[in-house]
Amino acid sequence: MRTSISVSRYAWYHGLDPSPLRLSLQEDEQTSLPCPIDKASMEPLSVVWFRVADVKFNLSTYLPQSVDGDVVPKKVYSLVAPEPPLVPVLGASVGLVDGVHWKQPPWLGRAFFSLLSDPPALLVNRLNLADTGRYVCNVSYRGGNVTDDGVTKTEAAVELFVADNLKLSWRRNGEPLSSKAATLTKTPSGGLESHLNLGPLFREDLFSNVSCVATSDVTLPTASSVLIDMFLPPVEVSVWSWAHEDVNASGWLMVSPSPTRTASSLSASTLTLDTKNGGLGIFSGVATQSATVNSSSPSTFYSPRSYECEATGSRPPANITWFLDGLPLDERLSHTRFEGNITSSVLLLPSLKHAGKLLECRASNDNLREHRGVLSRYLAVNVSSK
Amino acid identity, position 62: Y
Prediction pTM value: 0.51
Q: What is the C-alpha to C-alpha distance for residues 45 and 84, in angstroms, rounded to an integer? A: 11
For the stretch 18-36, pLDDT in tens is 688 989 888 888 999 999 9
pLDDT of residue 196 exceeding 90: yes
Amino acid identity, position 107: W
Please compute the mean of the pLDDT values over residues 357-365 and round it to a whole number. 94
H-type alpha helices, 205-289: 276-279
Domain regions of the chain by residue span: 7-163, 167-227, 236-380
Please compute the mean of the pLDDT values over residues 151-163 and round it to a whole number. 90
What pLDDT, on a 0 to 100 scale, did the predictor assign at position 145? 62
CATH of 236-380, one of 2.60.40.10, 3.40.720.10, 2.70.98.10, 3.50.50.100: 2.60.40.10
Instruction: For domain 7-163, give the fold.
Output: Immunoglobulin-like (2.60.40)
What pLDDT, on a 0 to 100 scale, did the predictor assign at position 14? 46
CA dihedral (178, 181, 186, 189) positive or negative: negative
User: Which of 82-96, 156-170, 216-230, 334-348 has the least mean pLDDT?
Assistant: 82-96
Confidence tier at 257 by pLDDT (50, 70, 90): very low
Q: Is 229 helix (H, G, I), strand (E, B) or coil?
A: coil
Q: What is the C-alpha to C-alpha distance for residues 225 and 320, in angstroms, rounded to an integer? A: 35
User: Which of 58-62, 74-78, 159-163, 170-174 has the least mean pLDDT?
Assistant: 58-62
What pLDDT, on a 0 to 100 scale, did the predictor assign at position 137? 95
What pLDDT, on a 0 to 100 scale, did the predictor assign at position 211? 96
Mean pLDDT, all residues of the chain: 77
CA distances from 152 to 21, 82, 148, 233 (A): 20, 17, 12, 78
pLDDT of residue 114 exceeding 80: yes
Confidence tier at 204 by pLDDT (50, 70, 90): very high
pLDDT of residue 380 exceeding 50: yes
Nearest Cα to 160, choosing from 215, 123, 114?
A: 123
Nearest Cα to 50, choosing from 12, 14, 21?
A: 12
For the stretch 220-251, pLDDT in tens is 788 999 999 999 999 999 999 887 655 454 44
What pLDDT, on a 0 to 100 scale, did the predictor assign at position 149? 64
What pLDDT, on a 0 to 100 scale, did the predictor assign at position 260? 36
Query: pLDDT: is 383 or 293 the higher one?
Result: 383
Q: Which of 142-146, 286-290, 378-382 has the highest mean pLDDT?
A: 378-382
User: CATH code for 167-227?
Assistant: 2.60.40.10
What pLDDT, on a 0 to 100 scale, did the predictor assign at position 221? 82
First to last CA, the chain: 117
Beta bridge partners of 184: 194
Please compute the mean of the pLDDT values over residues 139-153 and round it to a whole number. 75
Q: What is the C-alpha to C-alpha distance for residues 26 and 30, in angstroms, rounded to an integer? A: 9
For the stretch 166-191, pLDDT in tens is 789 999 999 999 888 899 887 776 66
- Report whether 349 contacts 269 (CB < 8 A): no
What pLDDT, on a 0 to 100 scale, did the predictor assign at position 245? 59
Share of the chain above pLDDT 70, in %: 71
What pLDDT, on a 0 to 100 scale, did the predictor assign at position 277? 35
pLDDT of residue 127 exceeding 70: yes
| Fold match, 7-163 / 236-380 | yes
Confidence tier at 371 by pLDDT (50, 70, 90): confident
Q: Which of 68-72, 282-286, 303-307 has the highest mean pLDDT?
A: 303-307
pLDDT of residue 6 exceeding 60: no
**Is beta strand 304-312 parallel, antiparallel or unpaired with respect to 342-350?**
antiparallel
pLDDT of residue 264 exceeding 50: no
What pLDDT, on a 0 to 100 scale, did the predictor assign at position 63? 72
Half-sphere CA count of 275, side-chain side, radius 13 A: 2
